[in-house]
Copies of this chain bind each other. A is one copy, B any other.
Amino acid sequence: MTRPTNEPTVLDLGFARVDVGREARQGLPEVVYGPGKTAEQVKAIVAGLLAHNTGPVMVTRVAPEAAGEILTGSPGGTYDPEARLLLWRPAAIGSFKVMVVAAGTSDRPVAAEAATVCAAVGLDTTAVHDVGVAGIERVLQVRERLQAADAVIVVAGMEGALASVVGGMVRSPVVAVPTSVGYGASLEGVTALLAMHASCAAGVTVVNIDSGFGAAIAVHRIAQAWGGRR
């Protein structure tokens, strides 16, 4: 592994200063957060990243209409409507196996964002849905697959209990994503976030509510750091 360089390489687009040095420094490009940006702005940032970086370029949380407009101006990309992700230049899939496991049907978009970003950065990714703990057999059915993964991303809203159950089953890293699914006492994901932190399973880590993206990058860090050692 080449050690990162710390030279600042900022691309100034007037309305934004893009950190194009992040790829060299951290092994991951500055991923574009879609909300609040116009299609024109996104296109300009994507063009800059494509020109100054060599790896995958991603835009998250893009609505279908905006996606169409952006893709027209930035050819070569693809759009995943469930993950709401735009992607150019995905990495080749490597040998690091990550499994994304989601508790309920409503957690699918967040799980899709996690899985799509994982695949985009070259992780060998599989996903399984509707593995709620209220039907514990559904969890037991996938236990061996979970135990065979190099890392597991658990996506769950409401009480987030799946993180504890999976966290106690596997020896690999578990990254939990609370989702804003549910109503009332779910408090738009805050309950799941707190519950995952209070988890009785040791060593489970947590990312922000609905941040499938964050979980994927966390696993990318795990895969990448070890990649440098071998």
Contacts and interface: CB of A to CB of B under 8 A. Distances in A.
Contact of A182 (B103, B159, B198, B201): B198
Interface residues on A, range: 35 or more
A175 B175 CA distance: 11
Contacts of A51: none
A217 B192 contact: no
Interface in A1-49: 3-4, 6-8, 10, 15-19, 21-22, 25-28, 31, 33, 35-37
A63 interface: no
Interface in A152-182: 157-161, 163-165, 167-175, 178, 180-182
A78 interface: no
A167 B134 contact: yes
> Assembly of this chain: how many copies?
8
Nearest to A134: B168
Contacts of A207: 197, 203-206
Given A8-B138, A106-B36, A130-B17, A206 B197 contact: yes
Interface of A: 3-4, 6-8, 10, 15-19, 21-22, 25-28, 31, 33, 35-37, 95, 103-106, 108, 129-141, 143-144, 147-148, 150-151, 157-161, 163-165, 167-175, 178, 180-187, 189-211, 213-214, 216-222, 224-226, 228-230
20 contacts: A8-B141, A15-B105, A19-B132, A19-B138, A28-B202, A134-B164, A134-B165, A135-B168, A159-B161, A160-B195, A171-B221, A185-B190, A187-B194, A191-B198, A197-B207, A202-B213, A203-B221, A205-B214, A222-B222, A230-B230
